Copies of this chain bind each other. A is one copy, B any other.
Amino acid sequence: MDKLVTIGKASALTGVSAKMIRYYEEIGVLKKASRTEAGYRLYNQAQLQQLEFIRRARSLGFSIPEIQSLLKFWLDNDRESRQVKQLALSHLTEINDKIVELEQMKTVLQKLADQCDGDDNPDCPILDSLAQPPSV
């Protein structure tokens, strides 16, 4: 009952582009898929699940090396949830750092934009600020 599908169907079913499926195989995130006699890749249910796993992990911002670890944990019955949680918390820290950085940019830029008339006049505090040391 393990229905096999070619890469196009696998892509449509999982939302991962064929391009990326091949890439994941190439860099070793996924095991090499079996092939038809003509060389077409074939995917079974378990492999489709792995592709969905990858897609969800990507949508949470995990990097490919991180996903490789997550996949390994998932397939390993001897894992400790400690390992997974640690990885997740580490990723959370990265996310928080990025948010802080973006918030800082946002604050500065919003202030500058507020001060800029945005009319025909060439005077512009945004350009002034970029041109000079941020003394203010």
Residues of A within 8 A of B (CB): 49, 52-53, 56-57, 59-61, 70, 73-74, 77-82, 84-86, 88-89, 91-92, 95-96, 98-99, 102-103, 105-106, 108-110, 112-113, 116-124, 126-127, 129-131, 133-134
Question: In the assembled complex, which residues on chain B have CB atoms less than 8 Å from the CB atom of A130?
Answer: 53, 56-57, 60, 70, 74
Say yes or no: A109-B126 contact (C-beta < 8 A), given A103-B99, A118-B81: no
Alpha-carbon distance between A113 and B129 when the two chains are bound, in angstroms: 41
Asked if B85 and A116 sit within 8 Å, CB to CB, the answer is yes
Asked if B84 and A95 sit within 8 Å, CB to CB, the answer is no
Say yes or no: A121-B88 contact (C-beta < 8 A), given A73-B127, A95-B106, A96-B106: no
